Structure 1
Amino acid sequence: MHAVETKSSHLRRAAAFALACACVFAAGCAGPQSHHDDAVDDHQPHVPLADSSWARASGGAGLDPLSWEHQRLPGKAPVTFRPVRLDGRDALSATAVSAASVVRNKVRIEPQELAAVRFSWKVPALTPSADLALRDADDSPVRIILAFEGDRSKFSTKNAMLSELMRALTGEEMPYATLMYVWCNKRQPGTVIPNPRTDRIRTMVLESGPGQLGRWLDYERNIRADFEKAFGEAPGALVGVAVMTDSDNTRSTSRAWYGPLTFTQRTVSAAP
């Protein structure tokens, strides 16, 4: 009986995870609908997310700054995302109380045009019990998520089954590969962590430990180089981007702020 219950529990978790992955980047998700009208901080005027200064400043190659949306994930309490002004910067505040959701946007940058992604974040505190390598403790106060196309015929049997499950639940394909930038409690910057549920999601640690807490940190990452380090192959087209703060696995409270996110694009020389 215990074995049956355990198998059933694993299937439910896999199904919920597949649906959550699809909702990050797929249109027409079967879960709760997206929302564009998250309010700003209580001490500032109400501004819809898509009309906020943060959204207008987040754009670049292939990214429509007016298409940012808050996507809630099935079975998860939503994070409170609010455009704010913080320390003289346009920012997106995220407060997660045993919650997980994303602010996402679609993008289309072909492989030969991939260059850099620029972003910033500010984190006041870490989640002591979080561990990105464990499925029941896989939380982070900040995540930048990039989704890529690719050859799904290369999927392992497990990933092919997960992709089929996602298609059955949502009518959409699982991204071929997803790269996340995170702040980890203990692993060294540059460490790549395969997701505990599927190796088609890999996490790259940019910050580790409490040393840089409470200050703005700015990044410019070479997308192609980071993808090749994480996956050992060249990237396909970049098709989605999101920011995510989550505390649902550890049942904790997490707070963070994101600065505007922008892409640069390589200039492709014309053939002689």
Structure 2
Amino acid sequence: MFTPLRTLLITLLAALLAACASAPPTASPSVDGWENIPIPGKRATRYSWAEKDGRPAFAAEADASASFWMKRLPGGPQPVHEVEFSWWVQDMLPNANVGVAERSDAVARVVFGFEGDIDALPLKTRMMFELAHALTGHTPPYASLVYVWDAELPVGTVVIHPRSDRIRKIVVDSGPGERRHWRDHKRDLAADFRLAFGEEPGKLASFAVMTDTDNTRSRAKTWYGEIKLK
């Protein structure tokens, strides 16, 4: 009989072999520090510089796809308190819900990656981090706090990622009522981290945006404004 650890190793190895056969191993070349970070086995969302309603922005075009448009902090990890970001959403995704694994797409996400003691995490989580590094060349952050526009969940909802408790989401826009114009948000990043994770945040290491439609097999287009750290 397999021990639980051996079963986990076999499961992770099978995932590694399957994903390596279908996914690009590394991110795309950086543009002004931004990189399109792939998700193993997924088609990449297309990100490009643009202008929307008079604002400089970058556009995300998803077609049954998912990937991150990510930038590491130029001066290295740092403590942070407030953040400002904005997004402009064309349309909602039918049947999407970030709280349901099989439907966890979102037209707009802004993701903040924090440092921490990865060696203190459970063995399964550390092995998943190592697997992600093997597939993409990037080790996931110790913790990721995600602000999201969800099609169904109420504003203020906190969602623990169904496959990793190191990713937690806060809904800051909901439903179609505010689409097709700029939505500006100002958040206390440290307070939201404590709300979502129940612990003090480490230093901020990176931020990213993400528009994904791989689960609902749909299309979406979103524009993101500048992310400003206070």
TM-score by length of 1: 0.72
- Identity of aligned pairs, percent? 40
Kindly report which structure 2 residues correspond to 1:197-236, keeping only aligned pairs within 5 A, or say none: 197-236=163-202
* Greater relative contact order structure (CA < 8 Å, 6+ sep): 2
- 8 Å contact from structure 2 (residues 27, 35) kept in 1: no
**Correspondence for 1:166:** 132
Preserved contact between residue 32 and residue 73 of structure 1 (Cα < 8 Å): no
Q: Matches of 2:132 and 2:91 in 1, distance apart?
A: 34
Q: C-alpha offsets along residues 23-53 of structure 1, whole Å, 9 cap, x if unaligned?
A: xxxxxxx7144134xxxxxxxxxxxxx4xxx
Give deviations 1:78-114, integer Å, cap 9, x for gaps. 2222211211111111110101122111113433xx1
Amino acid at match of 1:35: P
Equivalent-residue separation in structure 2 for 1:129 and 1:195 (angstroms): 18
Partner of 2:192, secondary structure, is helix
Give the 3-state SS of the residue equivalent to 1:70 in structure 2: strand
Q: Within 1, Cα distance between the matches of 2:129 and 2:100?
A: 21
Q: Deviations over 1:104-158 (max 9, x none)?
A: 11113433xx121211001121112112122221110111011111122442343
1:219 is aligned with what amino acid? H
1:53-202 → structure 2 map (5 Å cutoff): 66-107=32-73, 108-111=76-79, 114-169=80-135, 173-202=139-168
Query: How many residue pairs were aligned?
Result: 217
1:171 Cα shift? 6.4
- Do the aligned residues in 1 keep the contact of 2:12 with 2:131 (CA within 8 Å)? no
Distance 2:70 2:84 in 1: 16
Question: Secondary structure of 2:199's partner?
Answer: coil
Change (3 A) 1:204 1:124: same
Q: Which has the larger radius of gyration?
A: 1
Give the gaps of 5 or more residues in structure 1.
1-6, 20-29, 37-49, 51-65, 265-272
What secondary structure does 1:117 align onto?
strand
Give, in whole Å, the separation in 2 of the partners of 1:241 and 1:210: 25
Correspondence for 1:243 among 199, 205, 209: 209
**Structure 2: runs of 5 or more not aligned:** 1-7
Tell me the amino acid that sits aligned with residue 108 of structure 2.
V
Q: Is the 8 A contact 2:40 2:136 kept in 1?
A: no
Q: Which moved more, 1:139-148 or 1:159-168?
A: 159-168
1:35 paired with 2:29, answer yes
